[in-house]
């Protein structure tokens, strides 16, 4: 008897992320302050808006910082949390949160996205008044050029300067980043050590010939 089970068509992660970001709304109302001499307990509210008002009146809700870098961090954290929750709504999909200073912000996996692991890093910058340029720099090396002078259609479609992943890796591996000779030697020693350990591990697992 033939099985008529339908297999879900894999989703293109980039297109899926664009669709999800269309639904994103920045809903952070302030910074929560635990201690306050003003508020009385218990605190009751019938809606999110009333809760925000009561927290503010009670001294528990401080205004968001106006400094652009701080706001960008808050926005990025909000977007990352939003996307992580959306991933978890898909059966079989998994998401791993990164560290504050690590890369990427989230790592997505699952057969629904074609298998393997996909790195997603969220960056923010203030948009210029024209809407076609960024007013501030994005905290990503290539973003300071690609995102600062983008073609808006190419940016949205994900069209880059490289035709293949090999071209991308070949270019950036040869790029003369500003690192001292000492740092380069340390990185090379660490890489060589890691490669030696990997080779020893593989040799210990291979059956004798």
What band does 2 get if pLDDT is binned at 50, 70 and 90? very low
Amino acid 47: pLDDT? 94
Q: What is the mean pLDDT of residues 60-78?
A: 88
- How far are the Cα atoms of 14, 79, 80, 84 from residue 21, in angstroms, in the given order? 11, 8, 10, 12
pTM confidence score:
0.65
21-46 pLDDT tens trace: 999 999 998 999 988 877 678 888 99
Instruction: Using the predicted structure, report yes or no on whether residue 101 has a pLDDT greater than 80.
Output: no
Compute the mean pLDDT over every residue in the chain, rounded to the nearest whole number.
82
Whole-angstrom distance, CA of residue 187 vs CA of residue 184: 5
Rounded to 10 degrees, the C-alpha dihedral 68/13/24/48 comes to: -110
Instruction: Using the predicted structure, report yes or no on whether residue 1 has a pLDDT greater than 50.
Output: no
171-203 pLDDT tens trace: 878 877 777 778 778 888 888 888 888 888 888
Whole-angstrom distance, CA of residue 183 vs CA of residue 176: 13
What band does 3 get if pLDDT is binned at 50, 70 and 90? very low
């Amino acid at each position: 008897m033939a099985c008529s089970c339908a297999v879900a068509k894999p989703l293109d992660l980039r297109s899926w992320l664009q669709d999800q970001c269309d639904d994103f709304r920045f809903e952070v109302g302030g910074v929560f302050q635990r201690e306050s001499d003003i508020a009385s307990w218990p605190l009751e509210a019938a809606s999110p808006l009333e809760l925000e008002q009561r927290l503010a009146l009670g001294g528990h809700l401080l205004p968001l910082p106006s400094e652009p870098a701080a706001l960008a961090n808050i926005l990025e954290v909000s977007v990352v949390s939003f996307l992580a929750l959306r991933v978890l709504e898909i059966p079989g999909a998994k998401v791993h949160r990164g560290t504050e200073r690590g890369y990427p912000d989230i790592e997505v996996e699952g057969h629904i996205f074609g298998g393997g692991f996909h790195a997603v890093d969220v960056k923010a910058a203030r948009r210029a008044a024209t809407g076609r340029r960024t007013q501030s720099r994005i905290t990503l090396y290539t973003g300071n050029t690609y995102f600062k002078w983008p073609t808006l259609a190419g940016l949205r479609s994900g069209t880059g300067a490289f035709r293949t992943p090999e071209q991308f890796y070949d270019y950036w591996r040869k790029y003369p980043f500003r690192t001292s000779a000492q740092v380069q030697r340390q990185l090379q020693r660490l890489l060589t050590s890691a490669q030696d350990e990997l080779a020893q591990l593989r040799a210990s697992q291979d059956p004798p010939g």
